[in-house]
Structure 1
Amino acid sequence: MKQFVIALLALVLAACATPPPAKEMTPVDTGKRIALTFDDVPRAAGAFQTPDERTRRIIAALREAGADQVAFFVNPGHIAERPGAERRIAAYTAAGHLIANHSNTHPGLSETPAELYLADIDAAGVWLEGRKGYRPWFRYPYLDEGRADKAKRDAVRAGLASRGLSDGYVTADASDWWLEQATIDAKDAGQPIDRAALRDLYVESHVGAADFFDDLARRAIGRSPVHVMLMHETDLAALFLPDLIAALRSDGWTIVSPDIAYADPIAAEAARYDTPSAQGTLTEMIAWEKGLPAPRWYDRNDTKVLSALFRARVLHLPPTQE
């Protein structure tokens, strides 16, 4: 009997020491959500593709990555000078994506009288109204809302409200337009371009921007809003969107529709603020209003920083002497 008890006890102890079966790992829900948006549609040709190739690649990349809906902010005044542009915009909306107003000719509000600026918005609205996928959002070119000119800022805000347009703000920005132009310039100059390094710089800059601005928002308003990422219709987007979306998801981000993002209360919260200068991301302006210390913007939005990274990593050139 004693031997039986000892044997039974040994079995119990062995069972307790055996680890439980491994459970299937599931992604952690970090609560981080972000919508992707693309400005300056239709853009001219970039460094690597024709505009038609670029549009096909962007649509395919979004479909393959499971990013079901993004928004393209359109400058209709550029359509006539870019053959096939209207057809390419229609291809975006046929694929289920959205279009919105980015002004007709892309003026900066700081350099434009308010009445002329609103007239330019109206010209874009004539082309956009009634088209498939249209949303009544307006995004300021250059994210310029009048800077320190509060009278002009308020006049345009009132004009947008009277037209039923809401602010197509952004909360995260990685200056992808600069990377695109630097790539075009390098190609035109005959400089070898390390595409793998360019991909890595593009992807990590966007993920870094999303995380930086999310941290800024959490400190400013105490929560993570549904973010809106500013991007542009570029060859780099066409090439690297699958890598970027995978990296965002790996970092805990969920890609959502701009419809979800623009329903976030952050827009109503921000409308109550009176920042010293209206220019840039909404996150930055809120942080400024709340008195958060600098830095209130992502370091790679400084083109000197981005230029040094591009030169060293993509072109494999030594630092410039200043």
Structure 2
Amino acid sequence: MLRRLLLPLLMLLLLPVPAAAQKMIALSFDDVPRGRGAFFPPEERTKRIIAGLKKAKAPQAVFFVNPCRIGTGDGVGGAERIAAYVAAGHVIANHSCTHPHLNAITAEAYLADIDAAESWLRDQPGHRPWFRFPFLDEGGTDKAKRDAVRVGLAARGLRNGYVTAESSDWRLEALAADAVRAGKPVDRKALGALYVRWHVAAADFADTLMRQAIGRQPVHMMLLHETDLAALHIGDLIDALRKDGWTIVSADTAYADPVGALMPDTPAANGTLTEALAWERGLPAPRWYRYNEDAPATAEFRARVLHEEAGE
């Protein structure tokens, strides 16, 4: 009798872990080496990002590099900062040389810009053969250009360094920098809370949408930028993601997921892979996290961080 009672319990314990417990995500940072932001000189930002990742015991992240920014403006010292990320155990990949919009130039000129970046990157320690489209612009409505670049990347042995989750942190950084320059009082605690909350919500949004689009949870890739907000709050963000059930994994792990082989065919090629797959499969808008839109993001920043009334 006891055996008959225990057998169903044992079978329950052997069932697969529910999908909700399999949330995995890697971290990526765009626009390296980025110029001065709201609060720190670039060298201090790099030190803080490295220290924050280390303290949080985060695995390998990937930093997408624009080599043409090295040695110019605030990019002076950029090569040393990039080397510091690699020395700390992270990897680097191609984000083009000059950060152009694909929809603004020819496919040939775009691929030449990628080649210029790769000529610097390929001999660097920590290099990975990944390319991330600046602005996540894969050609917009020009499918011939989109396909030409896809063919060009494959011929060069480069794969798409796609994104599945983002919350437009560059906009939050820009709003903060503008407020500081204007001499407005910035609620730094509220700013950090917004940075963390938006990213966690964006990851959850992407996870839900991806399960609807492809029927499973891929290993996600979160888009961050090399910003002062990351320098201040990357550890807080990692803690919040883990409390929300996410496991932080390496960039290598994320880009080993077969979802990266998918090439969605949509009316316009721009945005996250999650959005494109949802669009291709006919899921209704919005297919993007709400604070990716300028108006609600700016209104929320003004209300929460600047404590301004609507309309001020």
Measure how far apart 1:267 and its partner are.
1.5
Measure how far apart 1:206 and its partner are.
0.1
TM-score under structure 1 length normalisation: 0.89
Structure 1 alignment gaps of length 5 or more: 1-27
Measure how far apart 1:46 and its partner are.
0.7
Partner of 1:9: none
Matched, 1:220 2:225: no
Matched, 1:302 2:298: no
Question: Aligned with 1:263: secondary structure?
Answer: coil
Matched, 1:32 2:30: no
Measure how far apart 1:68 and its partner are.
2.3
Partner Cα distance (1:246, 1:285) in 2? 29
Residue in structure 2 matching 1:87, options 80, 90, 97:
80
Question: Aligned with 1:40: secondary structure?
Answer: strand
Matched, 1:51 2:42: yes
Residue in structure 1 matching 2:103, options 86, 101, 110:
110
Partner of 2:197: 204
Question: Aligned with 1:66: secondary structure?
Answer: coil
Partner of 1:166: 159
What is the one-letter code of the residue matched to 2:65?
V
Question: Aligned with 2:64: secondary structure?
Answer: strand
Question: Aligned with 1:146: secondary structure?
Answer: strand
Question: Aligned with 1:73: secondary structure?
Answer: strand
Partner Cα distance (1:119, 1:265) in 2? 28
Taking only the aligned residue pairs, the percentage that are identical comes to 63
Question: Aligned with 1:137: secondary structure?
Answer: strand
Partner Cα distance (2:36, 2:123) in 1? 28
Residue in structure 1 matching 2:181, options 188, 195, 210:
188
Residue in structure 2 matching 1:96, options 67, 73, 89:
89
Give the RMSD, CA atoms, in angstroms. 1.0
What is the one-letter code of the residue matched to 1:317?
E
Measure how far apart 1:265 and its partner are.
1.1
**4+ long deviations beyond 3 Å:** none
Partner of 1:288: 279
For residues 143-177 of structure 1, give each alpha carbon's deviation from its aligned partner in whole angstroms, at most 9, with x where no partner exists: 00001100000000000000000000000010000
TM-score under structure 2 length normalisation: 0.92
Partner of 1:10: none
Measure how far apart 1:74 and its partner are.
0.2
For residues 43-96 of structure 1, give each alpha carbon's deviation from its aligned partner in whole angstroms, at most 9, with x where no partner exists: 001111111110000000000001121000000000020211110000000001
Measure how far apart 1:304 and its partner are.
0.6
* Count of residues in Structure 1 that have an aligned counterpart in Structure 2: 292
What is the one-letter code of the residue matched to 1:124?
A
Partner Cα distance (2:145, 2:283) in 1? 26
Please identify the structure whose Cα radius of gyration is greater. 1
Partner of 2:6: none
Question: Aligned with 1:45: secondary structure?
Answer: coil
